[in-house]
Amino acid sequence: MKDTTTVSVIKADVGSCPGHIIVPKEMIEIFRKHIKEEGLNKGLLTDFYVFNCGDDLESILVHKRGVDNEEIHRLAWDGFLKATEYAKMHKLYGAGQDLLSDAFSGNVKGQGPGIAEMEFVERKSDPLLIFACDKTDPAAFNLPLFRVFADPFNTAGLIIDPKATKGFKFEVMDVYEHLKVTMSCPQEMYSLLALIGTTSRYAIKYIYINGEELPKEESIAASVCTEKLNVAAGKYVGKDDPV
Protein backbone atom coordinates (compact mmCIF):
# COMPACT_ATOMS: atom_id res chain seq x y z
CA MET A 1 0.00 0.00 0.00
CA LYS A 2 1.36 3.40 -1.00
CA ASP A 3 2.15 5.99 1.64
CA THR A 4 -0.50 8.72 1.54
CA THR A 5 -1.00 12.14 3.08
CA THR A 6 -4.41 13.44 4.11
CA VAL A 7 -5.35 17.10 4.36
CA SER A 8 -8.57 17.82 6.27
CA VAL A 9 -9.90 21.38 6.14
CA ILE A 10 -12.55 21.75 8.85
CA LYS A 11 -14.33 25.02 9.66
CA ALA A 12 -17.20 26.37 11.73
CA ASP A 13 -18.77 29.66 12.75
CA VAL A 14 -18.82 29.46 16.55
CA GLY A 15 -18.79 33.16 17.44
CA SER A 16 -17.59 36.51 16.18
CA CYS A 17 -17.69 40.24 16.60
CA PRO A 18 -21.20 41.70 16.06
CA GLY A 19 -22.45 41.40 12.50
CA HIS A 20 -20.71 38.14 11.59
CA ILE A 21 -17.56 40.12 10.77
CA ILE A 22 -14.42 38.51 12.19
CA VAL A 23 -13.28 35.87 14.68
CA PRO A 24 -11.57 37.47 17.70
CA LYS A 25 -7.86 36.70 18.02
CA GLU A 26 -8.45 35.13 21.44
CA MET A 27 -10.73 32.48 19.92
CA ILE A 28 -8.24 31.72 17.17
CA GLU A 29 -5.52 31.26 19.79
CA ILE A 30 -7.71 28.96 21.93
CA PHE A 31 -8.41 26.80 18.89
CA ARG A 32 -4.76 26.83 17.76
CA LYS A 33 -3.53 25.84 21.22
CA HIS A 34 -5.99 22.94 21.34
CA ILE A 35 -4.97 21.64 17.89
CA LYS A 36 -1.28 21.85 18.79
CA GLU A 37 -1.54 20.21 22.22
CA GLU A 38 -4.12 17.54 21.41
CA GLY A 39 -3.21 16.96 17.77
CA LEU A 40 0.38 17.75 16.83
CA ASN A 41 2.02 17.05 20.20
CA LYS A 42 0.18 13.72 20.58
CA GLY A 43 1.09 12.45 17.13
CA LEU A 44 -2.34 12.73 15.50
CA LEU A 45 -1.07 15.37 13.06
CA THR A 46 2.10 15.94 11.08
CA ASP A 47 1.32 19.64 10.59
CA PHE A 48 -1.53 22.14 10.94
CA TYR A 49 -2.57 25.72 10.36
CA VAL A 50 -5.37 27.73 12.00
CA PHE A 51 -6.84 30.92 10.54
CA ASN A 52 -10.14 32.68 9.98
CA CYS A 53 -12.18 33.67 6.96
CA GLY A 54 -14.49 36.42 8.15
CA ASP A 55 -16.46 34.96 11.07
CA ASP A 56 -15.42 31.36 10.34
CA LEU A 57 -12.79 29.56 12.38
CA GLU A 58 -10.75 27.42 9.95
CA SER A 59 -8.27 24.58 10.41
CA ILE A 60 -5.95 22.81 7.97
CA LEU A 61 -5.03 19.44 9.50
CA VAL A 62 -2.30 17.34 7.85
CA HIS A 63 -2.07 13.69 8.89
CA LYS A 64 -1.70 10.05 7.79
CA ARG A 65 -5.08 8.70 8.93
CA GLY A 66 -7.18 9.00 5.77
CA VAL A 67 -10.51 10.77 5.26
CA ASP A 68 -13.45 10.50 7.67
CA ASN A 69 -11.13 9.63 10.56
CA GLU A 70 -12.98 9.85 13.88
CA GLU A 71 -9.97 11.04 15.89
CA ILE A 72 -9.25 13.89 13.46
CA HIS A 73 -12.88 14.97 13.35
CA ARG A 74 -13.16 14.82 17.14
CA LEU A 75 -10.00 16.92 17.46
CA ALA A 76 -11.60 19.73 15.46
CA TRP A 77 -15.00 19.31 17.17
CA ASP A 78 -13.52 19.59 20.66
CA GLY A 79 -11.58 22.68 19.56
CA PHE A 80 -14.76 24.31 18.31
CA LEU A 81 -16.41 23.57 21.66
CA LYS A 82 -13.59 25.30 23.53
CA ALA A 83 -13.83 28.35 21.27
CA THR A 84 -17.62 28.34 21.75
CA GLU A 85 -17.20 28.43 25.54
CA TYR A 86 -15.15 31.62 25.18
CA ALA A 87 -17.72 33.10 22.78
CA LYS A 88 -20.60 32.41 25.18
CA MET A 89 -18.67 33.73 28.18
CA HIS A 90 -18.00 37.01 26.39
CA LYS A 91 -21.49 37.18 24.81
CA LEU A 92 -20.13 37.20 21.26
CA TYR A 93 -22.32 37.19 18.18
CA GLY A 94 -23.58 33.77 17.00
CA ALA A 95 -21.81 31.76 19.72
CA GLY A 96 -21.83 28.08 18.77
CA GLN A 97 -23.96 28.79 15.69
CA ASP A 98 -22.60 25.98 13.49
CA LEU A 99 -22.61 23.28 16.19
CA LEU A 100 -26.01 21.66 15.70
CA SER A 101 -25.52 19.07 18.43
CA ASP A 102 -24.03 18.96 21.92
CA ALA A 103 -22.58 15.50 21.36
CA PHE A 104 -20.01 14.30 18.83
CA SER A 105 -21.30 11.44 16.66
CA GLY A 106 -17.99 10.21 15.25
CA ASN A 107 -17.98 12.54 12.24
CA VAL A 108 -18.54 16.28 11.86
CA LYS A 109 -20.52 15.79 8.63
CA GLY A 110 -24.15 16.65 9.21
CA GLN A 111 -23.35 18.23 12.58
CA GLY A 112 -22.81 21.76 11.31
CA PRO A 113 -19.09 22.27 10.61
CA GLY A 114 -17.97 22.33 6.98
CA ILE A 115 -15.28 19.97 5.75
CA ALA A 116 -13.24 19.19 2.64
CA GLU A 117 -10.74 16.33 2.76
CA MET A 118 -8.22 14.93 0.31
CA GLU A 119 -6.07 11.80 0.65
CA PHE A 120 -3.29 11.63 -1.93
CA VAL A 121 0.12 10.21 -2.79
CA GLU A 122 2.61 13.06 -2.62
CA ARG A 123 4.53 13.80 -5.80
CA LYS A 124 7.96 15.43 -6.25
CA SER A 125 6.26 18.79 -6.67
CA ASP A 126 2.83 19.04 -5.09
CA PRO A 127 1.67 22.58 -4.32
CA LEU A 128 -1.61 22.63 -2.43
CA LEU A 129 -4.04 25.56 -2.51
CA ILE A 130 -6.72 26.09 0.15
CA PHE A 131 -9.64 28.40 -0.65
CA ALA A 132 -12.12 29.60 1.97
CA CYS A 133 -15.32 31.61 1.46
CA ASP A 134 -17.58 33.50 3.83
CA LYS A 135 -21.32 34.13 3.38
CA THR A 136 -21.90 32.09 0.24
CA ASP A 137 -22.87 28.59 -0.95
CA PRO A 138 -20.83 25.49 -1.93
CA ALA A 139 -21.51 26.22 -5.60
CA ALA A 140 -19.39 29.39 -5.31
CA PHE A 141 -16.48 27.22 -6.47
CA ASN A 142 -18.28 25.79 -9.53
CA LEU A 143 -17.11 28.36 -12.07
CA PRO A 144 -13.53 28.82 -10.79
CA LEU A 145 -12.94 25.05 -10.68
CA PHE A 146 -14.42 24.58 -14.14
CA ARG A 147 -12.16 27.32 -15.49
CA VAL A 148 -9.08 25.74 -13.89
CA PHE A 149 -9.70 22.12 -14.84
CA ALA A 150 -11.78 22.31 -18.05
CA ASP A 151 -11.33 25.65 -19.82
CA PRO A 152 -8.27 25.62 -22.14
CA PHE A 153 -8.57 29.41 -22.64
CA ASN A 154 -7.85 29.72 -18.91
CA THR A 155 -5.47 26.79 -18.36
CA ALA A 156 -3.01 26.34 -21.22
CA GLY A 157 -1.76 23.08 -19.73
CA LEU A 158 -4.99 21.39 -20.85
CA ILE A 159 -3.60 21.75 -24.38
CA ILE A 160 0.17 21.53 -24.05
CA ASP A 161 0.76 19.24 -21.05
CA PRO A 162 0.51 15.53 -22.02
CA LYS A 163 -0.62 14.69 -18.46
CA ALA A 164 -3.49 17.19 -18.63
CA THR A 165 -4.76 16.75 -22.19
CA LYS A 166 -6.70 13.67 -21.12
CA GLY A 167 -8.93 16.02 -19.10
CA PHE A 168 -10.59 15.67 -15.72
CA LYS A 169 -13.62 13.99 -14.16
CA PHE A 170 -16.03 16.13 -12.12
CA GLU A 171 -18.18 14.59 -9.38
CA VAL A 172 -21.23 16.82 -8.92
CA MET A 173 -23.54 16.70 -5.90
CA ASP A 174 -27.23 17.47 -5.62
CA VAL A 175 -26.91 19.19 -2.24
CA TYR A 176 -30.56 18.61 -1.32
CA GLU A 177 -31.11 15.01 -2.43
CA HIS A 178 -27.49 13.91 -1.73
CA LEU A 179 -27.24 12.33 -5.18
CA LYS A 180 -24.08 12.47 -7.27
CA VAL A 181 -23.03 12.08 -10.91
CA THR A 182 -19.56 12.00 -12.48
CA MET A 183 -18.92 13.71 -15.81
CA SER A 184 -15.75 13.71 -17.90
CA CYS A 185 -14.36 16.75 -19.66
CA PRO A 186 -14.01 17.62 -22.44
CA GLN A 187 -16.39 14.81 -23.56
CA GLU A 188 -19.33 15.85 -21.36
CA MET A 189 -18.50 19.53 -20.96
CA TYR A 190 -21.87 20.88 -22.06
CA SER A 191 -23.81 18.54 -19.76
CA LEU A 192 -21.52 19.49 -16.88
CA LEU A 193 -22.11 23.20 -17.48
CA ALA A 194 -25.86 22.62 -17.59
CA LEU A 195 -25.67 21.16 -14.07
CA ILE A 196 -23.18 23.40 -12.32
CA GLY A 197 -24.85 26.48 -13.78
CA THR A 198 -27.77 25.70 -11.46
CA THR A 199 -25.85 26.90 -8.45
CA SER A 200 -28.79 26.73 -6.07
CA ARG A 201 -28.75 22.92 -6.23
CA TYR A 202 -25.61 21.46 -7.82
CA ALA A 203 -22.03 21.79 -6.58
CA ILE A 204 -18.75 20.21 -7.62
CA LYS A 205 -17.62 17.82 -4.87
CA TYR A 206 -14.46 16.17 -6.26
CA ILE A 207 -12.26 16.43 -9.35
CA TYR A 208 -10.10 13.55 -10.58
CA ILE A 209 -7.62 13.03 -13.41
CA ASN A 210 -9.39 11.55 -16.43
CA GLY A 211 -8.25 8.57 -18.44
CA GLU A 212 -6.81 5.37 -17.06
CA GLU A 213 -8.32 3.99 -13.88
CA LEU A 214 -6.06 5.18 -11.10
CA PRO A 215 -6.70 4.79 -7.36
CA LYS A 216 -8.46 7.87 -6.00
CA GLU A 217 -5.42 8.84 -3.95
CA GLU A 218 -3.36 9.04 -7.16
CA SER A 219 -5.93 10.83 -9.33
CA ILE A 220 -7.63 13.32 -6.99
CA ALA A 221 -7.18 16.97 -7.92
CA ALA A 222 -9.73 18.89 -5.83
CA SER A 223 -12.17 18.46 -2.95
CA VAL A 224 -14.99 20.84 -1.98
CA CYS A 225 -17.20 21.16 1.10
CA THR A 226 -20.80 20.64 -0.11
CA GLU A 227 -22.56 20.42 3.26
CA LYS A 228 -25.68 22.60 3.48
CA LEU A 229 -25.99 23.93 7.03
CA ASN A 230 -29.64 24.86 6.64
CA VAL A 231 -30.55 21.43 5.26
CA ALA A 232 -28.85 19.73 8.22
CA ALA A 233 -30.52 22.06 10.74
CA GLY A 234 -33.95 22.02 9.11
CA LYS A 235 -34.13 25.81 9.32
CA TYR A 236 -32.14 28.88 8.33
CA VAL A 237 -29.15 29.28 10.63
CA GLY A 238 -26.74 31.11 8.34
CA LYS A 239 -24.74 30.74 5.15
CA ASP A 240 -22.62 27.68 4.41
CA ASP A 241 -19.18 29.29 3.97
CA PRO A 242 -17.49 26.48 1.98
CA VAL A 243 -13.83 25.49 1.74
Question: Which band of pLDDT confidence, cut at 50, 70 and 90, is reported for residue 237?
Answer: low
Radius of gyration of the chain (CA): 18
Residue span of the structural domain in which 196 resides: 138-223
Q: Is residue 106 part of a domain?
A: yes
For the ranges 38-52, 187-201, 229-243, which has the lowest average pLDDT? 229-243
> Choosing from 2, 124, 235, 236, which is the catalytic residue?
236
239 labelled catalytic: yes
What is the share, in percent, of the chain residues with pLDDT greater than 70?
A: 95
Q: Give CA separation, 122 vs 6, 80, 125, 205, 234, in Å.
A: 10, 29, 8, 21, 39
pLDDT in tens, 123-134: 888 889 999 999
Q: Is the preceding peptide bond at 138 cis, omega within 30 degrees of 0? A: no
- The domain total for the chain is 2
Q: Is residue 238 part of a domain?
A: no
> Choosing from 13, 55, 98, 241, which is the catalytic residue?
13
Q: CA 51: distance to chain centroid?
A: 14
Mean pLDDT of 110-121: 92
What is the share, in percent, of the chain residues with pLDDT greater than 90?
A: 74
33 labelled catalytic: no
pLDDT at 229: 64
Q: Which residue has the higher pLDDT, 19 or 203?
A: 203
Statement to judge: residues 128 and 142 lie in one domain:
no
* Residue whose C-alpha is closest to residue 28's, from 54, 53, 12, 50: 50
Statement to judge: residues 13 and 125 lie in one domain:
yes
Q: Is residue 21 part of a domain?
A: yes
Statement: residue 155 has pLDDT above 70? yes
pLDDT in tens, 205-230: 999 999 777 888 999 999 999 987 65
180 labelled catalytic: no
pLDDT at 227: 83
> Choosing from 55, 239, 240, 241, which is the catalytic residue?
239
Q: Is residue 218 part of a domain?
A: yes
Q: Is residue 108 part of a domain?
A: yes
Mean pLDDT of 149-157: 96
User: Looking at residue 68, which CATH number applies to its domain?
Assistant: 3.90.1170
Q: Is residue 235 part of a domain?
A: no
pTM above 0.85, yes or no: yes
Q: Is residue 241 part of a domain?
A: no
pLDDT at 241: 87
